[in-house]
Amino acid sequence: MTHRITHHASGRKEEGSTERWKNLSNSRLCHRLRGEGATTLVEFALSASVILLLVIGMIEFTRAIYTASVVQAAAQEGARAGIVDPAEINEAVTRRMVGLDPDRAIIRSTVRDDSVQVEVIYPYEFITPFITGVMGADGVQLRGDTRMIVY
């Protein structure tokens, strides 16, 4: 058996068995690591849940912004086409709704002598059940509205 002499800052010497200290410190270390592993796992689970919710929220928000942008662009395209030929409004709106189902859109147009106004309403549905529960199963109505003046 090996002996160890420990020198303290106070100048005092302490003799002890290296193996005894080694076994004692290993058992404490193993016990402590087991406890920290469980704590780390719980902390990771909580953190990962929050981060996952944030990422899903960002994806949903990005989809909604994209859909709103397409709906607005479709209304603008319909108004441009309506200045030239009012019969082309619906076709122009439908053609511009890339990535969306044009059959679900409500297209309203008002043609006057001096202006053309086009309104496109599209029902946006969330893909995440959590957000659907918060916002409602019907989703939200996204609206694009454009008025162009004829000179």
Domain spans, the chain = 16-149
Residue 52 has pLDDT above 70, yes or no: yes
Q: Tens digit of pLDDT for each residue in 60-109?
A: 999 999 999 999 999 999 999 999 999 999 999 999 999 999 999 999 99
CB 136 within 8 A of CB 146: no
Q: Which residue carries 């202006």 as its tokens?
A: 115
Question: Would the pLDDT of 147 be above 80?
Answer: yes
The burial class, CB within 10 Å (0-12 / 13-18 / 19+), for 111 is middle
Chain center to CA of 55: 4
